[in-house]
Amino acid sequence: MPYITIDRVTKSFGTFKALDLVSIGIQKGAIHAILGENGAGKSTLMNILYGLYQPDEGEIRINDTPLNLNSPRDAIASGIGMIHQHFMLVESLTVMENVIMGLVRGARTIDIAFHEKRIREMSASFGFDLDPTAPIWTLPMGLRQRVEIIKALYRNAEVLILDEPTSVLAPGEINSFIAGIRKLRDAGHTILFITHKLEEVMQVADFVTVMRHGKVVHEAEAASTNTRELARWMVGRDVVFELKNRELLQKGVSGEAADVLTVEGLVAVNYRGIRALDDVSFTVRAGEILGISGVDGNGQKELAEAIAGLRPILAGRIVVDNRDVASLDVKARISDARIAFVPEDRQSQGLVLDYPVAFNMVLRSYDRPPASRRGVLDFAAIRKLGSDLARKYDVRLRSVDQLARFLSGGNQQKIILAREIEAKPRLLVVMQACKGLDVGAIEFVQNTILELKAKGVAVLYVSTELEHVLDVSDRIAIMFRGRITGLLNRDEATTQRIGELMAGIDSGVAA
């Protein structure tokens, strides 16, 4: 008998059926991967298991006992913890304070030494190496993730739901993270592992469930399947893992290609006033893709925002086609310098969530034809443009009048990419282009970016997902503590060398 039984669970939002009679059996003490395209229903199902949503039909059982999960508090009381992709931590508090928050309500005194000792011992037992006294804001993203896991374990969670857990990790951190997850499994914990990275499924999972269009379409033991088979079940067709425009990538950039972007001595601070960019310099030529890699929080976001005009600089130059644009506002950089920008946070920066999809498609062109004429919006033209782009970029939706907030994260990302790429930019600055996308969508996005390269567009491709950077980049710049620690051609960019530069080894930047 399964430890967790998800029995004929159905969930609809209006007329849209997100889950359709989903049934899954999950064994105790196993790592069970949940795969599927964007909009397949994975997140909705996990949110039901964590008490954030309630099913319209069906039930969840643990040891064949039905659960009534009306809130995350009910889930935690039932031994279920969830580590979200966006961490739920208070940065100004310490590790220990975050872990015990909510557990000591009403207590007049707190035994700080006891909790610090227990957290240190629990952390060490899983190889997490956490300092309970460290403030959260001082920790890299990988350690923050471990704080979230310890926080769930501290609440006696027997089941851990991990949502895209390796997306914030550097290559060198992934193996130790997976080792820690295996230790959790071996200690008797049950792990639900949501990911788009098929190689990691094969590396860590015991069982795999594939979802498509709100239904379970395939279940297997990981040892009996492979990445190509799983990809086919995910998207309903064979996925070509080799990019169709691979010959464009291999051709490289002409030595006579003009410099489109030149960054010289760039200095900027983050939102806490701490220097995030420290004398950054590089160039990107026409028809070149320069990848920017590094562990999240080492200046990549500030660099992209400075170029796009969203972050002021303290020193340096930003030159596009021989024109210094550092003094231009965002609108001028869009219209005059032809800079397109795909932000890291699609929900707070890339979209207006309570606008329809069609309106989001024209956010950078609403003031000119065909979206408007003589200052008046042409709603029919906006809907037609939105429909055309949704088809072209494979955005899965019911209608272009649907609010953007009700789309999956991957489909939200496609809206932003469509809007920015269709503007025919001279320079495309794209952050986390494939974050949250399934294998079919990743294939589509990467080929689209390579087609831009072939048209002479300069691309600054910023991502913490190293495999995606390696897939499309002509050169790769690695950032550590606000500086570029290495600039490698694709043929010399090994995972080991990049991992060393991400850690500041042999770079002149003290680790």
C-alpha distances in Å from residue 180, one per residue of 17, 83, 86, 204, 229: 36, 15, 20, 11, 27
pLDDT value at 294 more than 90? no
pLDDT value at 446 more than 70? yes
Alpha-carbon dihedral of residues 234, 190, 171, 90, nearest 10 degrees? 110
Per-residue pLDDT tens digits for 489-509: 888 888 778 878 887 766 554
- Look up residue 489 and give its DSSP letter: E
DSSP 290-309: EEEE-STTSSHHHHHHHHHT
Considering the chain, what is the average pLDDT of its residues?
Answer: 86
Question: CA neighbours within 13 Å on the CB side: how many for 94?
Answer: 13
What pTM was computed for the model?
A: 0.65
pLDDT band at 328 (very low <50, low <70, confident <90, very high): very high
Q: Which residue's structure tokens are 């008998």?
A: 1
Q: What domains lie within the chain, and their CATH numbers?
A: 4-235 (3.40.50.300), 241-338+427-511 (3.40.50.300)
Burial class (CB in 10 A: 0-12, 13-18, 19+), 489: exposed
- pLDDT value of position 510: 43
Find the range with the poorest average confidence among 80-89, 335-344, 415-424.
80-89
Q: What is the mean pLDDT of residues 49-62?
A: 92
- The token duo for 117 is 């000792």
Q: What is the mean pLDDT of residues 39-47?
A: 85
- pLDDT value of position 511: 41
pLDDT value at 249 more than 70? no
Q: How far apart are CA 372 and CA 378, in angstroms?
A: 5
pLDDT value at 397 more than 90? no
Considering just the CA atoms, what is the radius of gyration of the chain in Å? 24
160-198 burial code (b ≥16 CB/10 A, e <16): bbbbbbbbbbbbbbbeebbebbeebbeeebbbbbbbbbb
Q: What is the mean pLDDT of residues 411-436?
A: 88
Q: What is the mean pLDDT of residues 146-170?
A: 84
Q: How far apart are CA 468 and CA 485, in angstroms?
A: 20
35 CB-near residues (< 8 Å, 6+ apart) = 42, 195, 196, 198, 201, 208, 209, 210, 211, 230, 233, 234
Q: How far apart are CA 5 and CA 159, in angstroms?
A: 13
Q: How far apart are CA 459 and CA 199, in angstroms?
A: 27
Q: How far apart are CA 216 and CA 40, in angstroms?
A: 9
Report the relative pairing of strands 215-221 and 207-212 from DSSP bridges. antiparallel
Classified as helix, coil or strand, 401 is coil
pLDDT band at 475 (very low <50, low <70, confident <90, very high): very high
